[in-house]
Amino acid sequence: MSISLEGRLPVGAMIETAEGHLGVLIEDDGGRNVYIDDLASISSPFKESDPFRLVKSALIVTGILGHKMLSKSGLNIRTWANVPRGSGLGTSSILAAAVVKGLFQLMEDEESDDNVARAVLVVEQIMGTGGGWQDQIGGLYPGIKCTQSFPGQPLRLQVVPLLASPQLIQELEQRLLVVFTGQVRLAHQVLQKVVTRYLRRDNILISSIKRLAELAKIGREALMNGEIDELGGIMLEAWRLHQELDPFCSNKFVDELFAFADPYCCGYKLVGAGGGGFALLLAKNRNCAKELTQALEESTFDVKVYHWNIAMPR
């Protein structure tokens, strides 16, 4: 599900050709910038501390560094991500998708969302973070959708939009609280542990992964039938399975937050890899959502409830 936060799409990139120079100027929303006049110096591996390694990796993967346009003009690249670091919302993957898509557009190359999603996988490997396809698909395709991949190379994805009624969308937006917990954890740290257990063919982990895939299909049916309460039960089971995959995906703060929210909710979970970031709290009804929002504001929990909307096709 792609969403806007506080009335705007929080992650994006602007890429322009520049007649005043032949290098690459990269700026982010934190006021940091770097100018690179020697394009041959952009090569991997990059230091983990390099704040521009995502953009540099995208420049390599798209092949734009060897494009004829850069013999006549430079590039100005500006990125922004107006969400907290370690949010669990897949910000890095979505930002990579924005940069890759913009570079493909400049080159008039194949910019289909499927092609962009595949390129982002390579970007994340070059960055050293790893990752799957779900985050960039979530950001590239608007609205609510159910996506599955098929075995083999190259990656093949099937993205099926869910044609939700205006009434369902309104009820979801009124009942589902999107809450930043203030707890931060980076996804690749969790991913490494899960991949290691998978390669060892850990039976509990493999059965949990299979069940999560089943829950995605059950959740799709629940939404298509307008059964939001059933979605709450699916969220609870998914959260339990996430804790089986990684016992450290929760902590005392998160457990206490969910215990506090439980009387108001039919379901809740952390998004992404867990351990912190954003929580989804699905209230039993609209009134419970309002009461929970007020209760959180008056509580000692240092959290932020975000205003959000489903980002529908334009």
Give me the CATH number covering residue 52. Answer: 3.30.230.10
In terms of domains, do 128 and 264 share one? no
Same domain, yes or no, for 72 and 108? yes
Distance between CA 209 and CA 189 in Å, rounded? Answer: 18
Residues 250, 292, single domain; the answer is yes
Asked whether residue 128 falls in the same domain as residue 191, the answer is no
Q: Are residues 52 and 134 in the same domain?
A: yes
Q: How many residues does the chain have?
A: 314
- Asked if residue 15 and residue 154 are part of one domain, the reply reads yes
Q: Which amino acid is at 279?
A: A
3-state class (DSSP) for residue 6:
coil
208 and 82 in one domain? no
pLDDT tens for the chain, 314 residues: list them.
999 999 999 999 999 999 989 999 999 999 999 999 999 999 999 998 999 999 999 999 999 999 999 999 999 999 999 988 777 778 899 999 999 999 999 998 777 888 999 999 999 999 988 778 888 999 999 999 999 988 888 878 899 999 889 999 999 999 999 999 988 766 566 677 778 888 888 898 899 999 999 999 999 999 999 999 999 999 999 999 998 888 888 899 999 999 999 999 999 999 977 778 899 999 999 999 999 999 999 999 999 999 999 998 77
Question: What is the pLDDT, as a whole number, of residue 294?
Answer: 98
- 131 lies in the same domain as 170: no
* Cα–Cα distance, 23 to 20 (Å, whole number): 9
Whether residues 155 and 187 fall in one domain = no
Strands across the sheet with 24-27, in order? 11-18, 74-81, 24-27, 33-36
Q: Global pTM?
A: 0.90
Question: Looking at the structure, do residues 189 and 303 belong to the same domain, yes or no?
Answer: yes
Q: How far apart are CA 311 and CA 143, in angstroms?
A: 5
What residue numbers bound the domain in which 143 lies?
3-160
Indicate if 21 and 101 belong to the same structural domain.
Answer: yes
- Among 98, 62, 64, 60, residue whose Cα is nearest residue 80: 98
Choose the final residue of a domain: 102, 128, 160.
Answer: 160
Choosing from 160, 181, 203, the residue where a domain stops is 160
> Do 191 and 238 fall into the same domain?
yes
**CATH number for the domain that contains residue 281:** 3.30.70.890
| Nearest-angstrom CA–CA distance, 222 and 148 | 17
Given this model, what pLDDT does residue 123 score?
Answer: 95
Residue where a domain stops, chosen among 93, 127, 160: 160
For 240, the token pair is: 């339990």
Q: Give the span between the Cα atoms of 274 and 206, in whole angstroms.
A: 18
Q: What is the pLDDT of residue 241?
A: 93
Structural domain total, the chain: 2
